[in-house]
Every structure is written in C-alpha cells, then in structure tokens.
Amino acid sequence: MGSLIARASELAELVKKQREVLVVTHIDADGITAGAIALGALKRIGIEVEIRFLKQLEKKEIEKIADTGKFVWFTDLGSGQLSLLKELDFVITDHHIPEFKSHRQLNPHDFALDGSIEMSGAMATFFVASRMLPSARLGALAVVGSVGDLQDSKFGKLVGLNRKIAEKLSGKSIEICRDLRFFGKQTRPIAKMLEYNTDPLIPGLSGSEANCVKFVSEMGIDPWVKWIELSLEDKRKIASALVRHCMSLGVSYEEIKRMAGECYILVHEEVGSEKRDAMEFSTLLNATARYEEADVGLRVCFGDEKAFSRARTLLQNHRKNLSEGLKLVEEIGIKELKNIQFFHAGKEIRDTIVGIVAGMSLVKNPKKPIVAFAENEEGIKVSARANYKLVEKGLNLGKAIRIAAERVGGSGGGHSVAAGALIPQGTEEKFLEFFDSVIGEQLK
C-alpha cells in the first residue's frame, strides 16, 4: 500500500508541473468517471485541460495524440499499449493488465493487486487526483466507476482499495447500505425491478411482468411503487419471499446469496434519481458513452441538468437496443466449441454494446466463456465474458484474448472475467480456434 501511495504522489507531482494536459479516457462508465475525476482535479488547480474519449487505444490514435505535443494523462486505458507510448510525455492511471511495469503508471497489477476487483480505472485516477486536491465528491465518482466496472459483483461488495476509499467517504459523499442488489431500486416500480432482473436469473419472475405483479400483490404490497418507497418490514417480506421462491425451484445457494449485498448511495443526489444509486448512475453513464455522446455523461458527472435529461433519453434507447440485441441472439443462436461459446452479430448489434449483450446471454450457459463478434468501421470487435467460478479454475480472458488477437493480426486485453479485442475482418474463425485452445489450456 505504501509503495502504491508513493507512486500516486509521484505522478500527482508530475502532473501538477504541467501548464496544459490532454486527458484521454475510455468510453464506459469507469472511463467517463475516471476522465471526470482527472478533469475536475486539473481545473480546480488551474491547469488548462482538454479531454478525448476513445473506444480503444490503437496506434493511429496514439499518433494523433502525439501530434498535439501535449502532456497526456491516460485514464482507464494505456497500460496495455505502453510500448507504443515512447514518443509521449504521459502518466497512466489504469487497471487493465499492463504490457509491463512502468514508473509512469499507477496500475494495481504493478503492486500485486487484482485490477478486476480491487481497483478500477476511476479509483486509480482518484488516488492520483486526491493527492493534487482532496475531494469527497470526486471520490464518489470513483465509487460509481468501480461499480460500473462490476468490481463489486464477485463478493457482492467492493473490496481492496475500492473498499478503503468507499469507507473513507462513508458519511461524507457515500452511504454504504445492505440491500437487494437489483437494478432499479431508485427508479423502477417493484414489479419492473423484478421483471428485468437477470443477475441472478429468478425462475418464473425474470422476464414476466404478470408473474412479478402477482408475486408482490399476494403479499399485500402494491407492485407499482418503487423499492425505495417501501417500509423496512415490506422490503424484508419481499426479500424472504424471493429466497423461499428460489429455494423451492432449486436455485443454488450461491445464486441466492448474490441477490443481496452492499449498495452505494450518493448522498448529495436526489432520492429517486438515477444518480442516487451507484449502480444506476453507472448504467446511465454507459448509455451515453456507447452512443458517441460520452461528453453528455461527463457533464452529468458535474451536475449539468440539461445533460442529465439527454442521458435519460439515451438510457431508454440503450435499454431498447439491449432488448433487441437479446432477441437477435435468440434468433441466430449461440454456437459452441470445446471450451467456449460464441455468436456473430455482424452489423445488427452495435460494437459498443455487444459485450453487454454477451454478458446478459451468459446466464443460459455459464459453464463456458462467451465470445461475441460485431462489425465496426475498423474491423471486427470481439467481446468476451465469463464468471468468477471459471476464474477460480484458472480462466483469464484478458490474457487469452490478447494472445488470440495478436495471432490473427489484432490487439486486445482486459480482465479475467471481461475482455475485448479488435481483429481484422475475416479472421474470426482463426481467432476462435486460437482462443478456444488458450482457454482450454487455462482450464486444464
């Protein structure tokens, strides 16, 4: 911990010496919050700053960045491309598996920490930013970034350095509470919250509005009120009924246990708003970035009400696209190889959300990692998802996807349970062959 803090302090001092900084960040919730944290800290200490959002840090993008001649702060990306950054003056705050160790980056993997659960890109950025200018509100954004990166999903709570910061912020900008970990507690009627919950999948309820309405009504509770409007007694009544329902249908104890855990409330945000709950806030931000409007998400982080209204519209569109994506996967089917399963969406699912669709589709067969392909203007986007049970057996999608992508002339990386790559069009079959082989070796 001491050496990590020392590195954060060194990078903070390096950044503070600059007169102008270009922040380059990723286009998901973790990337947006990381970029917002860097931007907020730099502006507050009077440094001129510009921000750019990228799907992926490719060589041609690095060349464009180099042409600016500016000092660069990479957030939530950059560690996997260190060898390409030699011509730049930069710092990195990232959590993806790095190409190698560097004194110019704060990355948990350099300090024997797991970047998929112990520190997100936003949290790494906050570690540096807080040594430039302490801010509980920027810390709350770091928690949103960690939750958006699903760093709380393995244990039902934040752990590692994520947890240390969340606990420090508790009572200031964050409230940590134990509750159901279903999406929509702030904004959806209970019936809809249950209907759309797929993590874990609840037999007979997930996907059925009628069954959810009946389930809640039979307890004498109005299914059309929001979860946050219920008394503690009614919340306990529903939670107990859910446990009994799942047990009666043979849902495993591990799956049932995942229904409850820690939730993170942003105390300065309005009750009933998407920004009140870290899980809903992160989903809202994802809905902006994945539709080429990351700047809207950035402005939401700083309280812009007009941007918030636009983000809500994008979120509605995002939900519709995810629903249509799942229907497409049903139609085209998921094919299986020896160690993996996959589907190819072509141009029918946006490359920016195909990974989310893949993760949602994993519930049907969680025993094998799932790979999804989607076309974009640069080639084929590859997204891979798995669960922590497979990780415990030796799976590391980030390492596997990098090896397979490089063998077909592409590039990739990520975490043990979620990873992505960009490969040349027409190389999908060869990629699957290599990827299936590497996964097989990992799971031996």
Give the CATH number for residue 88.
Answer: 3.90.1640.30
pLDDT of residue 263: 96
Please indicate, yes or no, whether residues 161 and 244 belong to a single structural domain of this protein: no
pLDDT of residue 364: 79
Give the CATH number for residue 429.
Answer: 3.10.310.40
Please indicate, yes or no, whether residues 131 and 35 belong to a single structural domain of this protein: yes
Q: What percent of the chain has pLDDT over 90?
A: 80
Tell me the pLDDT tens digit for each residue of 307-349.
999 999 999 998 889 889 989 999 999 999 999 999 999 999 9
Asked whether residue 1 carries a pLDDT value surpassing 80, the answer given is no
Asked whether residue 134 carries a pLDDT value surpassing 90, the answer given is no
Is 148 domain-assigned? yes
Please name the residue that has the structure tokens 């039979």: 218
Please indicate, yes or no, whether residues 155 and 192 belong to a single structural domain of this protein: no
Please indicate, yes or no, whether residues 190 and 213 belong to a single structural domain of this protein: yes
Can you give the pTM of this predicted structure? Answer: 0.85
Asked whether residue 256 carries a pLDDT value surpassing 90, the answer given is no
Please indicate, yes or no, whether residues 214 and 281 belong to a single structural domain of this protein: yes
Is 307 domain-assigned? no
Please indicate, yes or no, whether residues 11 and 123 belong to a single structural domain of this protein: yes
Asked whether residue 174 carries a pLDDT value surpassing 80, the answer given is yes
Tell me the pLDDT tens digit for each residue of 208-219.
899 999 999 999
Is 299 domain-assigned? no
Query: Of 122, 152, 170, at which residue does a domain stop?
Result: 170
Please indicate, yes or no, whether residues 362 and 253 belong to a single structural domain of this protein: no
Is 301 domain-assigned? no
Asked whether residue 78 carries a pLDDT value surpassing 80, the answer given is yes
Tell me the pLDDT tens digit for each residue of 258-315.
899 999 999 999 999 999 999 999 999 999 988 889 999 999 999 999 999 999 999 9
Is 434 domain-assigned? yes
Please indicate, yes or no, whether residues 89 and 192 belong to a single structural domain of this protein: no
Please indicate, yes or no, whether residues 10 and 154 belong to a single structural domain of this protein: yes
Is 405 domain-assigned? yes
Interhelix angle for 121-129 vs 2-16, to 10°?
A: 70
Please indicate, yes or no, whether residues 150 and 38 belong to a single structural domain of this protein: yes
pLDDT of residue 440: 96
Query: Of 109, 138, 170, at which residue does a domain stop?
Result: 170
Asked if residues 274 and 186 have their Cβ atoms less than 8 Å apart, the reply is yes
As a whole number, the mean pLDDT across the chain is 93
- The pair of three-digit structure tokens given for residue 220, joined into one six-digit string: 């004498």
Nearest to 416 by CA among 436, 406, 402: 402
Q: Which of the four pLDDT bands, split at 50, 70 and 90, describes residue 75?
A: very high
Please indicate, yes or no, whether residues 195 and 277 belong to a single structural domain of this protein: yes
Is 303 domain-assigned? no
- The pair of three-digit structure tokens given for residue 347, joined into one six-digit string: 């141009």
Instruction: Measure the CA angle with vertex 325, ends 323 and 327; round to 5°.
Output: 75
Domain housing 134 = 2-170
Using H for helix, E for strand and C for coil, what is the string for the chain?
A: CHHHHHHHHHHHHHHHCCCEEEEEEECCHHHHHHHHHHHHHHHHCCCEEEEEEECCCCHHHHHHHHHHCCEEEEECCCHHHHHHCCCCCEEEECCCCCCCCCCCEECHHHHCCCCCCCCCHHHHHHHHHCCCCCCHHHHHHHHHHHHHCCCCCCCCCCCHHHHHHHHHHECCCEEEEEEECCCCCCCCEHHHHHHCCECCECCCCCCCHHHHHHHHHCCCCCCCCEHHHCCHHHHHHHHHHHHHHHHHCCCCHHHHHCCEEEEEEECCCCCCCCCCEHHHHHHHHHHHHCCCCHHHHHHHHCCCHHHHHHHHHHHHHHHHHHHHHHHHHHHHCCEECCCCEEEECCCCCCCCCHHHHHHHHHHHCCCCCEEEEEEECCEEEEEEECCHHHHHCCCCHHHHHHHHHHHCCCEEEECCCEEEEEECCCCHHHHHHHHHHHHHHHCC
Query: Of 119, 150, 170, at which residue does a domain stop?
Result: 170
Please indicate, yes or no, whether residues 55 and 106 belong to a single structural domain of this protein: yes
- Quote the number of domains for the chain: 3
Is 364 domain-assigned? yes
